[in-house]
Amino acid sequence: MDQQAIKNRFGIIGNSPALNHALNVAIQVANTDLSVLINGESGVGKEVFSQIIHALSARKHNPFIAVNCGAIPEGTIDSELFGHEKGSFTGAVDGRKGYFETVNGGTIFLDEIGELPLGTQARLLRVLEAGEYIRVGSSKVQKTDVRVIAATNKDLLEFTQNGRFREDLYYRLNTVPIRVPALRDRKEDIFLLFRKFATDFADKYKTTSVQLNEEARNVLINYTWPGNVRELKNIAEQISVLSIEKNIAAEQLRTFLPDHNYNRLPVLAGGSGSVSHTEFANEREILYKLFFDMKKDVNELKKMFYDLLQNPATTGHVPVFSGTENGLKELHPTSNGNQYSQSTPVLFHNNNVENDIHHHEDVEESLSIVDKEKELIIKALKKHRGKRRDASLDLGISERTLYRKLKEYDIEDL
């Protein structure tokens, strides 16, 4: 069976090189009994690849079962996979067969394999290496012939380094790795997928299929799609059901796209107004970083001037300051010894240095997230003379988020 026929059979849409490579690997490994580890973000369609491998294998007429390891409580997952004997734990009123017994001769797909407890990982390793397992509460070794296909959206190699995943199990599962690309890495397929979903939902809900204009297509393609194909399908269904107008423009499409942290983070801006690609885990993390950097700078300034006032001999005179309309000015003695002339603007005013230095107080600056976020927004608007689009780019947030923040903080146009 050629690649296109397999795509048609399993509903795979797209022709990106990364997708075609992953599909080719699945086809080549299908007719073996090798363990396969499918890597990819949530929502990219990892289970479809496991179904393809099973359907093209010699086990295709035997059972196939998909197990979400993250959805089974830690206390019962051993029973689910390997079975248990009557009375082996509270509530075990009868014996029960596990998946490795019921799917004997077939294929088991273990999704979110990184969520397996370490004890269960050891038992799974024994199945992979010797084809043996023991029911919970039993001492009898049983045999099974099951092909294991695993999938994860985590970095299992990193998990092995911090003790969350067995290294020997990782290399046993990773005999043949398959990486399913994220939707944002196959931009050429995004509109094809949307059009297919829109047509399907139009048939389902007995309505006209929605159409996107050129600008709306660009918005669709350039969105980050953190939920991948699953999120795209949900958006297509929302638009099909909720849009009265079936010709969708960019602004209308944006109302269906949620603001994700990837788009809302204030980040450093590069030249020509471009936004840096530095990513932070969330908005609060970068704000905290900004606040503590500011606090560090202020403390260094305090220390510098404290040292200056403690050792005036190093500068030749004790500085005296006076406030003016244009800021604080340092006053220097004139020739008569009683007058002072204005010189360079300085940071603070202190007319009685030696008396006041022992009575100074440190005023703790505000670390309120709300206050600092509001302050950053106002600064950005002033910097760009009220141009919201430029301000949002500088802050690293979408225009929609900026509008919402202006309303939330009752900030008027500057």
* pLDDT tens across the length of the chain (414 residues): 689 999 999 999 999 999 999 999 999 999 999 999 999 999 999 999 999 999 999 999 999 999 999 999 888 999 999 999 988 887 777 888 999 999 999 999 999 999 999 999 999 999 999 999 999 999 999 999 999 999 999 999 999 999 999 999 999 999 999 999 999 999 999 999 999 999 999 999 999 999 999 999 999 999 999 999 999 999 999 999 998 888 999 999 999 998 754 444 444 444 334 343 334 444 555 555 566 667 666 777 777 766 777 665 544 454 555 555 554 455 555 545 444 444 444 444 444 444 444 554 555 556 667 777 888 888 888 888 888 888 878 887 887 788 778 877 788 766
Give pTM, 2 decimals. 0.62
The residue assigned the tokens 């940071």 is: 347
pLDDT, tens only, 144-184? 999 999 999 999 999 999 999 999 999 999 999 999 999 99
- Each residue of 11-62: pLDDT tens digit? 999 999 999 999 999 999 999 999 999 999 999 999 999 999 999 999 999 9
Q: Where are the beta strands (DSSP E) in 301-409?
A: 320-324, 327-333, 340-346
Phi, psi torsion values for 339, nearest 5 degrees: -105, 160
CA 352, chain centre distance (Å): 55
**Radius of gyration, alpha carbons of the chain:** 32
Residue-range domains of the chain with CATH: 3-181 (3.40.50.300), 184-258 (1.10.8.60)
